[in-house]
Chains A and B, each alone.
Chain A
Amino acid sequence: MLEASLAVSPVIAETKTATIGPDAGPLTLKINGTVRTIAVAPHSTLAEVLRGSLDLTGTKIGCDRGACSACTVWLDGIPVASCMMLAIDVGDRSVTTIEGLSDGDKLHPVQAAFIEHDAVQCGFCTPGLVMSCASLLAQNPHPTLDEVKAATSGHLCRCGTYPHVFAAMLAAATTGKG
Chain B
Amino acid sequence: MRRDKFPSGIAGVSVGEIERQVPADEAPPLPTNDRLAVIGKSVPRINGRAKVTGTARFTVDIKLPGMLHARLLRSPHPHARIASIDIQAAERHPDVRAVHVITDVVGRAVERDSGTDRGAGVHLPAALYIGAPIAAVAAITEEVADAALGLIKVDYEVLPFVVDMEDARKSDAPAVFASPVIGTGFEGRTPGSGEIAQHGNIRGPSKAGARGDIDVGFAEADVVVEEEYRTQVQTHCCMETHSVVADWRPDGLTVYLSTQFTAGVRNELAEAFKLPRNRVRVVVDAMGGGFGSKSSAGNYARAAVALSRAAGAPVRLALDRREEQLDSGNRPGTFQRLKIGARKDGRLSAISLYTYGTAGTATGAGVGNVAQAMYECANFASEQYDVFINAGPGCAMRGPGNTPGAFALEQTIDELAEKLTIDPLLLRDRIDASPVRREERRRGAERIGWSRRHVPGADKGPIKRGIGVAQSLWGANVQTNASCEVRLLRDGSVEILSSVQDIGTGIGTVLAQVVAEELGLRPQDITVRIGDTDFPAGPPSYGSRTTASITPPARNAAYKIKQMLLEIAAPHLGVAVDDLLMRDGRIVARQDATRSMSLRDAAATLRTDQIGALASRSDDYGGFRRAMTDAALAENDLGGVQFAEVAVDTETGIIRVERFVAVQDCGRPMNPRQIESQVQGGILQGISYALFEDRIMDRHTGYMLNADLEHYKIVGPRETPDIDVIVLENYQGQSATDAYGIAEPSNIATAPAIANAIYNAIGVRLRQLPMTPAAVLSALGRIPRGS
Contact = CB atoms under 8 A, between A and B. Distances in A.
Interface of A: 51, 55-68, 70, 97-99, 101-102, 107, 111, 114-118, 120-127, 130, 148-150, 152-166
Contacts of B680: 160-164
A158 B55 contact: no
Interface string B48-67: 11111111111011010000
A33 to B, nearest CB: 16
Interface in B231-246: 236-240
Contacts of B238: 158
A45 B224 CA distance: 61
A153 B714 CA distance: 12
A131 to B, nearest CB: 10
Nearest to B686: A160
A122 to B, nearest CB: 3
Nearest to A131: B54
Contacts of A56: 54
B422 interface: no
B52 A156 contact: no
Interface string B643-682: 0000000000000000000000000000001101110111
Interface stretch (B286-294, B512-520, B580-588, B767-775): B286-294
A107 B236 CA distance: 32
Contact of A107 (B49, B60, B321, B676): B49
Given A121-B505, A160-B677, 19 more contacts: A55-B63, A60-B58, A60-B60, A62-B239, A63-B710, A67-B710, A68-B239, A98-B53, A98-B54, A114-B48, A115-B49, A116-B44, A118-B676, A121-B678, A125-B239, A153-B716, A156-B709, A158-B236, A158-B239
26 contacts: A57-B54, A57-B57, A57-B61, A58-B54, A60-B60, A60-B239, A60-B240, A62-B239, A65-B708, A65-B709, A67-B709, A98-B54, A111-B53, A115-B45, A118-B45, A120-B52, A121-B506, A123-B286, A124-B58, A124-B286, A125-B239, A130-B52, A157-B239, A158-B238, A160-B685, A162-B680
Interface in B269-288: 286-288
B288 to A, nearest CB: 3
Interface stretch (B476-484, B561-569, B613-621, B717-725): B717-725
Contacts of A156: 237, 239, 709, 714, 716
Nearest to B712: A67
B473 interface: no
B61 A123 contact: no
Contacts of B683: 160
A161 B683 CA distance: 11
A14 B40 CA distance: 63
A100 to B, nearest CB: 10
B47 interface: yes
Contact of B51 (A61, A116, A123, A153): A123
A23 B287 CA distance: 34
Given A121-B677, A122-B288, A162 B52 contact: no
Among B50, B54, B287: residue with most chain A CB under 10 A: B54
Contacts of B505: 121
Closest 4 CB pairs of A and B: A58-B54, A160-B681, A123-B51, A122-B504
B239 A115 contact: no
B52 A59 contact: no
Nearest to A41: B143
A118 B239 contact: no
B359 interface: no
Interface of B: 42, 44-45, 47-58, 60-61, 63, 236-240, 286-289, 291, 320-321, 503-506, 673-674, 676-678, 680-685, 708-710, 714, 716-718, 720, 723
Contacts of A157: 239
B289 A126 contact: no
A63 B52 contact: no
Contacts of B288: 60, 122-124
Contacts of B58: 57, 60, 123-124
B151 to A, nearest CB: 19
A76 to B, nearest CB: 20
Contacts of B709: 62-63, 65, 67-68, 156
A120 B45 contact: yes
A114 B54 CA distance: 13
Contacts, number: 165
Contacts of A64: 320-321
Nearest to A163: B680
A162 B291 contact: no
A32 B242 CA distance: 30
Contact of A160 (B42, B48, B52, B684): B684
Contacts of B50: 123
A67 B362 CA distance: 30
A173 to B, nearest CB: 16
A62 B684 CA distance: 19
A132 B236 CA distance: 25
Contacts of B684: 160, 162
A65 B677 contact: no
Nearest to B660: A163
Given A58-B55, A64-B321, A166 B720 contact: yes
Contact of A158 (B47, B237, B320, B676): B237
A162 B684 CA distance: 9
B54 A122 contact: no
A118 B52 contact: no
A126 B61 contact: no
A164 B505 CA distance: 14
A65 B54 contact: no
A152 B50 CA distance: 21
A114 B56 CA distance: 15
Given A115-B44, A118-B674, A121-B677, A149 B55 contact: no
A98 to B, nearest CB: 4
Nearest to B318: A61
Contact of B504 (A51, A66, A101, A121): A121
B52 A161 contact: no
A99 B54 contact: yes
B289 A124 contact: yes
A58 B709 CA distance: 21
Contacts of B63: 55
Contacts of B239: 60, 62, 68, 70, 122, 124-125, 156-159
Given A60-B240, A107-B49, A158 B685 contact: yes
Contacts of B61: 51, 57
Nearest to A65: B708
Contacts of B717: 148-149, 152-153, 155, 162, 165-166
Contact of A161 (B42, B49, B681): B681
Among A51, A65, A158, A161: residue with most chain B CB under 10 A: A158
Contacts of B320: 64
Contacts of B716: 153-156, 162
Contacts of B710: 63, 65-67
B720 A122 contact: no
A8 B134 CA distance: 41
A178 to B, nearest CB: 14
Nearest to A146: B718
Contacts of B52: 107, 111, 114-115, 120, 123, 126-127, 130
A163 B240 CA distance: 21
A116 to B, nearest CB: 7
Among A63, A67, A101: residue with most chain B CB under 10 A: A63
Among A55, A56, A102: residue with most chain B CB under 10 A: A102
A149 B289 CA distance: 23
Contacts of A161: 677, 680-681
Among A101, A114, A153, A160: residue with most chain B CB under 10 A: A160
B22 to A, nearest CB: 33
Given A57-B61, A159-B681, A67 B708 contact: yes
A108 B222 CA distance: 65
Among A121, A150, A161, A164: residue with most chain B CB under 10 A: A121
